[in-house]
Amino acid sequence: MEWLGHAAVAVTSSPSSLPLQRKDGTTTTLRELCENTTPPCHLNPLLFNGHLQTIWTSVKEEGPPIHYKRKVFDADHKIYHGSFAVDFVVEPHQEVDETLFPRTSYFSEQEFSKIGSDDKRPMVIVLHGLSGGSYEVYLRHAIAPLVLGEGEWEACVVNARGCANSEVTSGVLFNARATWDVRQVINWARKTFPNRPLFGLGFSLGANILTNYVGEEGAECPLKGAISVGNPFDLEISNKALQRSTLGLHVYQKVMGTNMKKLIEQHKEAVLEHTKLDLDRIQNLKYLYEFDREVQTVTWGYPTENAYYRDASSSDAVLAIRIPYLALSALDDPIAVEEAIPYQEIKANPYTVLVTTSLGGHLSWFEFGGGRWHARPICNFLNTMVGEINLDAIKPDLIQKSTTPEAKAHFDPVRRKLQVIDA
């Protein structure tokens, strides 16, 4: 029971949670590690429900002073061309670029040519939420303890195409299922920093993309672990839940739809050049689901927005994960709603653990005094994985296929289809 901002914390996992070997030779499990690295959740008692927590994010806050240098990558996908921007955390600098957000400038070609390293510093690759970017306060709160001061971590943020003042150079726009850009960055990082343990961290729709990516990679995933924060998981359920309530429809759906319309307007010339979108129709829309109907169905070929939501959802992909995976969710989140959380899939996979809090809103978790609670379990988990766990001893093949002789079929969690086994 909550009282004065004290939220209840619950852990969901497989009964046979992934065994982990510590560097000192002792053993633990992924569930035990997550339990031990998740602190009590004491939030601002004045923000006593998910709506207040979520709406409070609109209050101006400077946030931790993270400095970035940007590199624009040309996509290497054989079909989905274009470019995207990646912001790397760097030492404080005084460079100012009026086209970018504060404390962000571009790498020079000479600077970026020297970025490779044989060091063993851990590195986290971050994905932001819908229409956001590396500048987001919730994101900077999460990585600040890792990279500032005595922090030993390296970090970069993969910005969705067109977000964070990045250019749109093709008809490939933001998509909740588009794992190609993050895959390219992770593969590039694996080659450029061969000795660094790599981890993934995703927020909201970025968490959905990261979960899809980790599931698609399965046992071959180059990451040593991943954290999903405020993941909507089942986008169709979350979308319908938002449309059921007055606040959901006329506040959250409308705000998100407005943000996406602004993104299209910002890149109007490029959108007209590379797509067949009707900009007049888009600007007359009100809600996010209308935007998805007008944009995602046209640019990606989905017949309806619900088909897009079903295809892009990461709830089934959870079953295919084969690296340590922690999901953080608030049960009062009005956007990534509880009914969309894949509890059964989490319980079926030893590699996954879900930590829920009864309070917290959407990517909020405001503590009394201005802190953000989610930063602490994120940093604790990552630091413990690197500092105490023998990452090379983790085996990606501990799950037997669920096929039974009676079933004569196998469920592919990435394709989200039951496949008949040929006799």
What average pLDDT does range 219-225 have in this prediction? 97
Q: What interhelical angle do 235-244 and 305-312 show, nearest 10?
A: 130
Per residue in 368-418, pLDDT (tens digit) is 988 999 999 999 999 999 999 999 999 888 776 655 667 677 788 988 887
* pLDDT at 170 > cutoff 70: yes
% residues pLDDT > 70 (the chain): 98
Q: How far apart are CA 346 and CA 353, in angstroms?
A: 6
Give yes or no for a contact between 375 and 141, defined as CB atoms under 8 angstroms apart: yes
pLDDT of residue 407: 66
Per residue in 24-61, pLDDT (tens digit) is 999 999 999 999 999 999 999 999 999 999 999 988 88
Q: How far apart are CA 148 and CA 422, in angstroms?
A: 55
Dihedral of the CA atoms 191, 193, 195, 196 (nearest 10)? -120
What average pLDDT does range 281-286 have in this prediction? 95
Residues in the chain: 423
Sign of CA pseudo-dihedral 298, 302, 306, 312 = negative
Per residue in 8-27, pLDDT (tens digit) is 999 999 999 999 999 999 99
* pLDDT at 251 > cutoff 90: yes
Q: How far apart are CA 239 and CA 249, in angstroms?
A: 9
DSSP string spanning 141-171? HHHHHHHSTT---EEEEEPPTT-TTPPP-SS
% residues pLDDT > 90 (the chain): 89
Q: Which of the residues are catalytic?
A: 204, 333, 362
Which residue matches tokens 């005595």? Answer: 150
- Look over the chain and give the mean of its residue pLDDT values, rounded to a whole number: 95
pLDDT of residue 404: 61
**CB burial string 122-147: b at 16+ within 10 A, e below:** bbbbbbbbbbbbbbbbbbbbbbbbbb
pLDDT of residue 339: 98
Give yes or no for a contact between 126 and 100, defined as CB atoms under 8 angstroms apart: no
Neighbouring C-beta atoms of residue 53, cutoff 10 Å: 24
Domains in the chain, CATH or no CATH each: 6-234+313-412 (3.40.50.1820), 235-312 (no CATH)
Neighbouring C-beta atoms of residue 71, cutoff 10 Å: 18
Give yes or no for a contact between 112 and 186, defined as CB atoms under 8 angstroms apart: no
Helix, strand or coil for residue 136?
coil
Beta strands in 77-150 (DSSP E): 83-90, 104-106, 123-127
Which residues face 89 on adjacent strands?
68
**Two structure tokens written together for 221:** 């995933």
Give the Cα-Cα-Cα angle 163, 167, 171 (nearest 5 degrees). Answer: 95
pLDDT of residue 402: 57
What average pLDDT does range 214-225 have in this prediction? 97
Per-residue pLDDT band at 173 (split at 50, 70, 90): confident
What average pLDDT does range 286-308 have in this prediction? 95
Which residues face 21 on adjacent strands?
27
Q: How far apart are CA 231 and CA 250, in angstroms?
A: 21
Helix, strand or coil for residue 84?
strand
Give yes or no for a contact between 345 and 372, defined as CB atoms under 8 angstroms apart: no
